[in-house]
Amino acid sequence: MLFWVIAAILTLGASLAVLLPLAASAKGASSSGEHDLEVYRDQLSELDRDAARGLIQPAEAAEARAEIARRILRLDNAGTASGATAGRASVTARLVATVAVLAVPLVSWGLYVKLGSPDLPSQPLSERLAKNPADSSVDELVARAEAHLAANPADGRGWDVLAPVYLRMQRFSDAAGAYRNAIRLDGDSAVRQAGLGEAIASAAGGIVSADAQDAFEAALKLDPANAKASFYLAMALAQEGRAKEATTAWQAMLVRLPPDSPWRGAVEQALAKSGGSDVASGATNGPDAGDVDAASSMSPQDRETMINTMVAGLDDKLRQNPRDPEGWMRLVRSYVVLGKADQAREALGRAIAVFGADSDQAKKFTAFAASLGLAATE
């Protein structure tokens, strides 16, 4: 009922705001001729006073009276001729405006009654958050948890519960913040560190950055059997171009994982993808462990020459086979390690151009470069 009262008052106020100026303008138009007539009457009175005091000759006074009289007659004739037409036009305009102003709220109210839900009870947020959780949506439950944590930011258990929910909702930055709060308040655990690493990697478009690797390594220190941490660290090896090491790590996971582990499917898929890629087959591999051992016995100049030759070879292979995302990431990392930021940036630009600036792979390249402290443009 209160809604209808407020709506009626607002409608009345809006209608009066339009109708009152219309009425005022009509009055102003009708009083214009009367004002002119009043001016002429004042002139006649002033003329009579001047004649009585002898300030004007009788003949001049008579001529002035005649002129004022002619003006009054012209005004009267003009008012009579145009008054009827103007009056009819004014009345018609006011009538149309009044009907239009009154029709808007009437039509609006009619449509609302027909199409709206005036009898629907209100649903304030406080009541929705207070209802049975079993009857609440995920968004309402999250809103309830966020309201609780806003009032109790030191509730580590609350952050621990909310973090994986954020992760499932793909609110990766919020998930990372929640995991950090849970770790800060309730201490380290393998599950929290692995969740933090997954949130960081997901926020970076799937790139396992240095921060994500630190979290996964911390999880493995607490629980060497943590499958999530092992999987993502192997993925980091693949993203760095170390496909053989990644394959070995995933194969070791398959041996350790129980048959019903939910991670078996992900590991098998990663192995299939890695086994079919050019990186895994060695098409764009850089120096392996044997190359590193050989380089360690060389002089610094020979070692630098060898490394530069290998990196240049990788660059040439990517020019011939540019559809190799892991190879591009390894090339960018190699140039960064060698301190050749300009060449690393140029390689990053080429990689993005190959896959398209708006592609998901380009976003992964950008995130990977950012984890190395490199921007696409500077």
CA 150 to the chain's CA centroid: 22
Q: Is residue 285 part of a domain?
A: no
CATH number, position 305: 1.25.40
pLDDT tens across 301-329, in order? Answer: 665 666 677 788 888 888 888 888 888 88
The answer to which of 34-43, 178-187, 275-284 has the lowest mean pLDDT is 275-284
For residue 57, the 8-state DSSP code is -
pLDDT tens across 349-371, in order? Answer: 999 999 998 888 888 888 888 87
Q: Where a domain ends, among 115, 147, 180?
A: 115
Q: What is the number of structural domains in the chain?
A: 2
Q: Mind spelling out the 3-state secondary structure of 218-277? A: HHHHHCCCCHHHHHHHHHHHHHCCCHHHHHHHHHHHHHHCCCCCCHHHHHHHHHHHHHCC
The answer to which of 48-52, 153-157, 238-242, 277-281 has the lowest mean pLDDT is 277-281
Please tell me the pTM assigned to this model. Answer: 0.45
Q: Where a domain ends, among 91, 115, 139?
A: 115
Note down the domain range covering 48: 2-115
Q: Is residue 46 part of a domain?
A: yes
Residue 8 has pLDDT above 80, yes or no: no
Residue 289 has pLDDT above 50, yes or no: no
Q: Determine how many CB atoms are found less than 10 A away from the CB of residue 31.
A: 11
Q: Is residue 16 part of a domain?
A: yes
The answer to which of 29-38, 47-56, 147-156, 159-168 has the lowest mean pLDDT is 29-38
CA distance 63 to 245: 120
pLDDT in the model for residue 27? 52
pLDDT in the model for residue 316? 83
Q: Mind spelling out the 3-state secondary structure of 272-341? A: HHHHCCHHHHCCCCCCCHHHHHHHHCCCHHHHHHHHHHHHHHHHHHHHHCCCCHHHHHHHHHHHHHCCCH
Q: Is residue 70 part of a domain?
A: yes
CA distance 339 to 337: 5
Q: Where a domain ends, among 115, 131, 157?
A: 115
Q: Is residue 96 part of a domain?
A: yes
Q: Does residue 360 contact residue 199 with C-beta atoms inside 8 Å? A: no
pLDDT tens across 209-264, in order? Answer: 899 999 999 999 999 999 999 999 999 998 888 888 999 999 889 888 887 888 88
